[in-house]
Amino acid sequence: MTTKVSAESLFHYTPEIENLEGILAEGFRFSLCQEELPLSGYRNNPFDQFGITKHVHDCEIVCFCDLPISQTEDHRKQYGDYAIALTKNWGQSKGVTPVRYVHKNSPDFLSETSSVVMDLYRDMPQYDENIFVQLAEVTGVAPTIEELQAIPDSVKKLMVITNETFQELLSHCRKLMPLVRLYEGDWCDRASEGRGTRRFYDEKEWRAVPSKDNDRLTFTFEDVTRIIVKTEDEVRRIGNYIIANQTILRVTDTVATWRKIQTWDELRRDG
């Protein structure tokens, strides 16, 4: 018999039933998260190294996991006992994607290039979004006014194109960072409050990041495969909430709605 290592749906866990109702009413909100990256830092700074200095960046994300329900006991202790599951087809259509897990020896994090990219992107606004001005400041190699005036117009046009292309490349690299997570790292256990190391790889995480056209991750009720709560009273609460808002949620079959809502006890009985 083959044991499945992935779920059929994408699950989002939360500690409060009110959060489920908010998700059903308005979709998923992108949450600000501080993520540590295994950046090697700069060679000429002995203190700016992974394990000595923590390199943390802010990212806005919505998180899901791809764990079969039978393997979620520890996950629920950390993230909550309420869950909503949606189809993977929905997730892929919305750009939800598995994260890439990395460690300090992952090839592209071994050099200081990743640190350079992050710093250039972060500091670019203070240099009027001009990479040539920024590099002149960073490297100390600044042309004189006379040298700038002597640059042919064709080269100036090429510099404008180069600057725009460079900005796009930096922006692209920066947008990939929220989809990267440490293989394992420091963690404060949300149940015991004890500190230790957690292997994040075991969470099988998928993430969504915001785009210009989307500040919420939306879905229809047809995309929902399952809603899991703690008690039968909460089954009725969520069911009645969905029926009361069926127009907003675009519910087409109220009978099928109830079949999607289950308790953990019911799931255990069903095996």
pTM of the model: 0.85
Q: Read off the tokens for 195.
A: 């500190």
pLDDT of residue 1: 46
| pLDDT band, very low/low/confident/very high, at 237 (cuts 50, 70, 90) | very high
The mean pLDDT value for 241-257 works out to 87
- Report CA-CA distances (Å) from 182 to 185, 203, 262: 6, 11, 33
- Report CA-CA distances (Å) from 260 to 138, 141, 221: 57, 64, 10
| Helical pair 153-176 and 131-139, crossing angle rounded to 10 deg | 80
- Report CA-CA distances (Å) from 160 to 155, 169, 267: 9, 14, 60
- The residue among 54 and 135 whose pLDDT is bigger is 135
